[in-house]
A = this chain, B = another copy of it.
């Protein structure tokens, strides 16, 4: 494992997306405060959820591309361990 993360190259893009999601969540607070129509609030909750899941898929892709394939290229048990760990993360993601 190096000092940088698997998503080092896409870090700026991930941060930009997370800041946009923070803005969406603050927008949701304003809507609820002003008692916007339930269905309109729900539409925005769905949009924020989708945006979060896209971040998750992007993170997972970078993790597979760097951490998992690097471990596999080096051989040994580490790749095996990382695949089990990644699968559990995918399961949590699918269930959420």
- Interface residues in chain A, defined as those with a beta carbon under 8 Å from any beta carbon in chain B: 4-8, 11, 14-15, 18-19, 21-22, 25-26, 28-29, 32-33, 35-39, 41-43, 45-50, 52-53, 55-57, 59-65, 67-70, 72-73, 75, 79-80, 83-87, 89-96
Partner of A19 from the list B29, B75, B84 (CB cut-off 8 Å) is: B29
**Inter-subunit contact A32/B53 (CB<8 Å):** no
Q: What CA separation (Å) do A16 and B38 show in the bound complex?
A: 17
**Inter-subunit contact B61/A84 (CB<8 Å):** yes
Partner of A50 from the list B18, B67, B87, B96 (CB cut-off 8 Å) is: B96
**Inter-subunit contact B53/A49 (CB<8 Å):** yes
Residue of B nearest to A54 (CB): B91
Q: What CA separation (Å) do A39 and B48 show in the bound complex?
A: 21
A–B pairs, 21, beta carbons within 8 Å: A5-B37, A7-B32, A14-B32, A18-B32, A22-B22, A22-B25, A25-B52, A38-B59, A39-B85, A39-B86, A49-B49, A49-B52, A57-B91, A57-B94, A61-B84, A69-B83, A72-B72, A93-B94, A94-B94, A95-B95, A95-B96
